[in-house]
Structure 1
Amino acid sequence: MRLTRRGVCTLAVAVVLIALGLVAGYPLLVTLGAIAVGAVVAALGVAGRKPRVEVIRELFPDRVERDGRAVITLRVHNPGTRRQSGFTAVDRVGEDRVTVAVRPLAAGAEQPYMNELPTGRRGRHDVGPLTLFRADALGLGRSELFLGEMATLWVYPRTHPVGAVIGGLPLHHHDGEATETSPRGSLDIREVRPYVPGDEVRHLHWKATARTGQLMIRDYADPHQPQFTVLLDDRHEMTAPEFEEAVELAASLVVAAAHADHRCRLVTPGGVDVDTTSGWDAVQRYLEELCVVTRTEDAGLPLLPATLARAGGGTFVVISSAVTVTPDDRAALVGMRPRYGDMILVVGAHGAEPGVPGVRVLRAANAVDAIRQWQTVIA
């Protein structure tokens, strides 16, 4: 139990009033001071008892898109034999607060409370700790009980329906050791390796088996599996609104590509480099990365990171700002152009158009506008 700032001020004023009344001989001041002291004492009596309840907190779902619906449920149970007075429960969600007014509970009673969480800011937000507090009507006193359990709310960037672009690797037939970037599939021989239980018997390589004396299997690869690379500009020159729109566009593109079984890669100048196979696991990995990505504070970073020095194949998409694409960046894009089947640069509507020979440039006011133009590109 503690006095609030208002309670401390009220008590100080009461002491002054009583002292002045006694010194100056004014009974009215003494009476007012006594009333103020009585209010503080009453506040201590009302708010002095901490809530004695059991609270179960449930967060569902714990992963939503920005501005999506996430609900927190509090199940408040009174395990005692006496009636519990009402109190207030406050949960922190990042920098926001969610407040629930809990009504009085009879002995042994339980009451659920449901409230929506703020999901307007992208990011990984800690939910908690839950604080239960009781205060008097005048706000003079306050008692608090902290419940230390924490939860995590992932607020992903919004994704919009968008078509996946088709971009494959050059057709190649090889027999022997595979490179790290060779996609696995079922058309061309990636390598010949020892048989492992579970492999297709029809893929046995009989000549290699006879030569080595052990069962050897053909490991096939699909040279046509589409490749899709997205470069998200996270340099600090990007304004916050532009960056949020860029993240939203990047999320829409990589999620669509991963769902379409395309091999994807997401890179940023600031050091993010995610290269996974397709499918739901890849979608969640990309969304988690884009959930927490922020603009880097490093100055003077080039648009193209060193990790792309030897990359190539398929479609390469750059999401940036017309203002931040420098002449050096344009020269680097021109140098990389021959290594990709297609290259697309998406920039904001402000600033001069960064013309890059051989590169299609889309100028968009926001992510939705960029996706609308994207649909015409892949049509």
Structure 2
Amino acid sequence: MKPKRRLALDAVADLDFERLNHVLIPSRAEDRERLRRSRTGRVLLPLFRLYERFTPEGQLTAGLALLGTVISLDVDRSDAHLVWAALVGTLGCSLAASVFVRVDGVVLTVRVPPRVAVGEEVAFAITAHNTGDRARTSLRVDGPFLPWDGAWTREPPVIARLAPGAQETVTCHARFRSRGEHHLDTFRVSALVPFGLCEGPSVYSSGCRFVVVPPVARIASLRTPTLARHQPGGVPRVTSTGESFDLRGVRPYRPGDPIRDLHARSWARTGFPVVREYQQEYFRRVAIVVDPDTSGAAHPAVLDALISLAAGLAATLGRDDTLVDLVIVGRRLHELNAHGGAGADLLGPTLDVLACVDPGPPLDPDAVLSALGPHAGRLSAAFVLTVSPSESHQGLGARLRALGIASRTLAVYDARKPRPEAPGDVSLFAHDAVLRGEAVHA
């Protein structure tokens, strides 16, 4: 096959057609709201509300009626026009009756977890509260139009009867395959018209927000840089560790010991004052530096694998006495431990940061050193992650070590291409192995 034709086929294979299908639909909630308030949106909104009145069964019936319009034109040779008339008549009656089937007094609220992993099913808990004085029957709960990467995994729930003053919670389930912050539009509840072809006027909830976080790479072993230094006394405002001291035991009271350290039970048992004795905790504080430059890797899955590797790194470090204190993406610094927290507590905020990483310009070593400078005295090590390892990453590692910060560079390469030559002590990982969840020895 000719090289140009091969390149063209590879380019077509890399296209995300699901994303292209949504190219005219804004991905951000504020942009969608701006579109609704525009002149075009005000014209299209009534048509969209009319489309919402039809259930999936009603939409199928309307499609059959539209097809029957063409078939029934020849009234002399076919009786298809009778079927067409029946379909259109049934739809028309259902649509007219839907005006009178209201759900006034029903209040809808939605709860969703703050974060969900890529490919994991998320449950939206929708609570319908009937504040009116009439019972509502045959209520159907519908979710919003999902972004390009989302899909509903189950049928819309139905509430058979909602008594006055009662409330009922149902769940809608969806799955998302792209990381990042997601803003969904409103959920809605409406009453079904007999025959189930149309719905009455809807009551809407507020929108909801959550973060689809990257999958956490399975790191079987991790080699920590050897120049790591500890922060004596722990980290200020670390939760669940008291004053950053571990209880070592008890001993007799000595003049000058704090009164608050007296241990009453031991004192009562021994007959002389006894105090608790503590030893200092030690935490390693680490920075993760992500190079978002993807110019050397055309396929977006390579960057996703890099982010997954960074997430696995943060999870592995959090299980030890290590705090991922800083995450640098390009030139932006995210200080995760500003409000205190233990290693496991910081994994969620770290994943939130990594979920929103987009391709960017090449890593600037001067900008990284400038961002780390005020924090260099408390850092033990730094991990640099990239898809395009180069001499600039080696130079950054040398400059970090000159500051007393041990460093390692981890790189992810496109497995569809030959394995590149890793400069220096850079560790290489194939992107498909990371995304498949294979054990990574870093």
Of 366, 381, 389 in structure 2, the residue corresponding to residue 325 of structure 1 is 389
Q: AA paired with 1:47?
A: S
Structure 1 residue 129: Cα displacement: 0.3
Residues 384 and 410, structure 2, Cα contact 8 Å, conserved in 1: yes
Tell me which residue corresponds to 1:286: 350
Tell me which residue corresponds to 2:290: 232
Query: Once the two structures are superposed, what CA deviation does each residue of 1:251-304 show, in whole Å capped at 9, x if it has no partner?
Result: 1212332443435332222x33224446255333312211222223x4xx3464
Structure 1 residue 7: Cα displacement: 5.4
TM-score normalized by the length of structure 2: 0.56
Q: CA 1:371–1:246 in 2, change beyond 3 Å: closer, same or farther?
A: farther
Residues 90 and 97, structure 1, Cα contact 8 Å, conserved in 2: no
CA distance in 2 between partners of 1:337 and 1:170 (Å): 12
Tell me which residue corresponds to 2:429: 363
Q: CA 1:148–1:76 in 2, change beyond 3 Å: closer, same or farther?
A: closer
Structure 1 residue 249: Cα displacement: 1.1
Structure 1 residue 250: Cα displacement: 0.5
1:43 counterpart = 2:101:
no
CA distance in 2 between partners of 1:7 and 1:276 (Å): 54
Structure 1 residue 186: Cα displacement: 3.6
Q: AA paired with 1:71?
A: A
CA distance in 1 between partners of 2:157 and 2:285 (Å): 53
CA distance in 1 between partners of 2:364 and 2:203 (Å): 47
CA distance in 1 between partners of 2:87 and 2:439 (Å): 65
Question: Where does structure 1 lack aligned partners over 5 or more consecutive residues?
Answer: 172-182, 188-197, 204-221, 375-379
Tell me which residue corresponds to 2:322: 262
Q: How many residues align?
A: 321
Structure 1 residue 360: Cα displacement: 4.0
Of 399, 405, 411 in structure 2, the residue corresponding to residue 346 of structure 1 is 411
> Among the aligned pairs, what percent are the same residue?
14
Structure 1 residue 93: Cα displacement: 7.5
CA distance in 1 between partners of 2:438 and 2:334 (Å): 23
Of 157, 181, 184 in structure 2, the residue corresponding to residue 101 of structure 1 is 157
Tell me which residue corresponds to 2:111: 59
Tell me which residue corresponds to 1:243: 303
Residues 228 and 316, structure 1, Cα contact 8 Å, conserved in 2: yes
Q: CA 1:234–1:36 in 2, change beyond 3 Å: closer, same or farther?
A: same
Q: AA paired with 1:50?
A: R
Q: CA 1:56–1:31 in 2, change beyond 3 Å: closer, same or farther?
A: closer
CA-based RMSD: 4.6
Residues 166 and 226, structure 1, Cα contact 8 Å, conserved in 2: no
Question: Where does structure 2 lack aligned partners over 5 or more consecutive residues?
Answer: 1-48, 235-242, 246-255, 259-279
Alignment of 1:146-157 (within 5 A): 146-157=203-214
Q: CA 1:337–1:345 in 2, change beyond 3 Å: closer, same or farther?
A: farther
CA distance in 1 between partners of 2:83 and 2:171 (Å): 43
Q: Greater Rg, structure 1 or structure 2?
A: 1
CA distance in 2 between partners of 1:37 and 1:371 (Å): 59
SS of 1:158's equivalent? Answer: coil
CA distance in 2 between partners of 1:318 and 1:38 (Å): 67
Residues 54 and 78, structure 1, Cα contact 8 Å, conserved in 2: yes
CA distance in 2 between partners of 1:11 and 1:64 (Å): 41
Query: Once the two structures are superposed, what CA deviation does each residue of 1:193-232 show, in whole Å capped at 9, x if it has no partner?
Result: xxxxx9x9989xxxxxxxxxxxxxxxxxx9x853433222
Tell me which residue corresponds to 2:399: 336
SS of 2:392's equivalent? Answer: helix
SS of 1:329's equivalent? Answer: helix
Residues 11 and 37, structure 1, Cα contact 8 Å, conserved in 2: no
CA distance in 1 between partners of 2:398 and 2:345 (Å): 33
Residues 53 and 76, structure 1, Cα contact 8 Å, conserved in 2: no
Tell me which residue corresponds to 1:185: 232
Q: CA 1:170–1:333 in 2, change beyond 3 Å: closer, same or farther?
A: closer
CA distance in 2 between partners of 1:331 and 1:226 (Å): 23
Q: CA 1:362–1:33 in 2, change beyond 3 Å: closer, same or farther?
A: closer
Tell me which residue corresponds to 1:73: 125
Structure 1 residue 61: Cα displacement: 3.2
Q: AA paired with 1:242?
A: V
Of 352, 365, 369 in structure 2, the residue corresponding to residue 308 of structure 1 is 369
Q: AA paired with 2:94?
A: A
CA distance in 1 between partners of 2:409 and 2:80 (Å): 79
Residues 230 and 316, structure 1, Cα contact 8 Å, conserved in 2: yes
Q: AA paired with 1:293?
A: V
Q: AA paired with 1:251?
A: A
Q: CA 1:249–1:11 in 2, change beyond 3 Å: closer, same or farther?
A: closer
CA distance in 2 between partners of 1:117 and 1:141 (Å): 24
Residues 10 and 36, structure 1, Cα contact 8 Å, conserved in 2: yes
Q: CA 1:56–1:185 in 2, change beyond 3 Å: closer, same or farther?
A: farther
Residues 126 and 151, structure 1, Cα contact 8 Å, conserved in 2: yes
Structure 1 residue 8: Cα displacement: 10
Q: CA 1:229–1:334 in 2, change beyond 3 Å: closer, same or farther?
A: closer
Q: CA 1:247–1:30 in 2, change beyond 3 Å: closer, same or farther?
A: closer
